[in-house]
Structure formats: C-alpha cells, structure tokens
Amino acid sequence: MAMNPDNRILLRKLLVIAVAMFGFGYALIPVYKHLCEALGINVLTQKDGTVAAPSNTQVDRSRSITVELDSNVQGTLRFRPTTSRVTVHPGELATVVYEVVNSQGRVVNAQAVPSYAPQSATPHFKKVECFCFRQQTLQAHEAKQMPVMFYIDPKLPREVKTITLSYTFIEVAGLAQAPVSASTSKGKL
C-alpha cells in the first residue's frame, strides 16, 4: 500500500520535530548549568569542588539567642548532641551535630521528632538541613554524626532569650531487621 505524498511530508516533519525535542531535552541540563554559572545564580559548588557556604545578610547582631540542645531516646540507642548549647544571632546560620550509636547487633530504623521550648519560638526556628527530615537506618554497631543547620527568624519576639531544641529519637516499629552476625559487623563502631 503506497503512502500519500502529503502523509510522507507530514511524517518527515514529525520525525524532525521528535529528533529536535530529544536533542533539546538531552542538551537542557548542561545548557542550564552553564547559564546559571554565567549569571552567578544557583551555584552550589565552587570551581574547586567545595560546597559554597550559605550566607545571610539579614543577621540581627544587636541581640543573641542561646539555643540549648537536648536529646531523648526511645529504645536502646545512645543519642546526644555533641555540644549542650550554642549562642546565635537571629538570622545567623548555625550548625550543630547530634550523635547516635546503635550498640545492638541488628539494623535499626529510627526517626527523630523535634520539639521546642518555649512553644512561641516554634514558628521562628527554621531548619535548613536536618536528620529529622527522614528516617535514619543504623547498621549494627554503627555510630553516626548528624548535622542540623538552622537559623532563628529575626521576627522572634525580643523577650525570648533562650530556645530549647529537643529531639526524641524513636525506633520505627516493624522495620527493624534480624540480628547481624559478628562476622558481618566487623569494622563498625
């Protein structure tokens, strides 16, 4: 069965369009990357491969807030902040580290649940990066250092001078795995 000449022309045009769309989609990522670098926007890494430190020009240096760090655990994990308190200016980016140790001979899945005191500070405590955003899987006898990057909103009421950030680390039921033998857990803390 012979194809109508108009249909052949249409088929060729559609094939050219499909190939052009594929080429555009394939080239889009490198073109976008070069465009962002040229304009200096959304650049996450420096030329040497180091991560660009986030900066904030809205820091209120006229006052300081003490952030007390607390930890609780449900189960047999060991969980604690590496420092008990930090002092920050509202708007200033800060990073604190919590450490968790799974001393059990099995894999544990857990979730950190944050709480704040006073409660009025809750909407002003802004976490940029936090291990509490997702469940953590800890291998048998594994230790992890988990950072929390945050800032305090400058709109925090002036009468609040201290905020307590407390995490409760809870083992997620039903996801724990069978014990791991000593031979497979060598090299872990």
Cα 112–Cα 117–Cα 122 angle in degrees, nearest 5: 75
Q: Which two tokens stand for residue 188?
A: 């872990």
- Total domains present in the chain: 2
Of 175 and 60, more confident: 60
Average pLDDT over residues 50-61: 63
Residue where a domain stops, chosen among 10, 28, 51:
51
Specify the pLDDT at position 100: 93
Segment 132-153, tens digit of pLDDT: 888 999 999 999 999 999 999 9
Q: Are 170 and 111 in contact (CB under 8 A)?
A: yes
- Strand spans (E) along the chain: 65-74, 78-81, 85-88, 94-101, 108-117, 125-130, 136-138, 143-152, 162-171
Cα 90 to Cα 32: distance, rounded to the nearest angstrom: 34
Return the pLDDT at 150.
Answer: 94
CA distance 162 to 65: 6
Residues 119 and 151 in one domain: yes
Clarify whether residues 78 and 159 are in a common domain: yes
In a domain, 60, yes or no: no
- Residue at 56 is within a domain: no
What is the edge-to-edge ordering of all strands in the sheet holding 85-88? 85-88, 65-74, 162-171, 108-117, 136-138
3-state secondary structure of 144: strand
pLDDT value of position 179: 44
CATH code assigned at 130:
2.60.370.10
Task: Look at residue 128 and tell me if it is in a domain.
Answer: yes
pLDDT for 53 equals: 53
Same domain? 42 vs 79? no
Shared domain for 74 and 115, answered yes or no, is: yes
- Indicate the range of 93-102, 106-115, 170-179 predicted with least confidence: 170-179
Q: Give me the pLDDT at residue 188, please.
A: 42
184 part of a folded domain: no
Continuous segment of H or E residues that includes residue 32: helix 5-39
Task: State the pLDDT confidence band at 97, using cuts at 50, 70 and 90.
Answer: very high
Instruction: Answer yes or no: do 150 and 71 share one domain.
Output: yes
Query: Is the predicted pLDDT of residue 30 greater than 60, yes or no?
Result: yes
Clarify whether residues 47 and 69 are in a common domain. no
Range of the domain at 129: 65-171
90 and 136 fall within a common domain: yes
Residue 11 lies in a domain: yes
3-state SS class at 165: strand
pTM across the whole model: 0.60
Contact 146, 97 (CB under 8 A): yes
- Asked if the model's pLDDT at residue 61 lies above 60, the reply is yes
Domain shared by 90 and 141, yes or no? yes
Residue 16 lies in a domain: yes
In a domain, 2, yes or no: yes
Looking at the domain assignment, is residue 181 inside a domain?
Answer: no
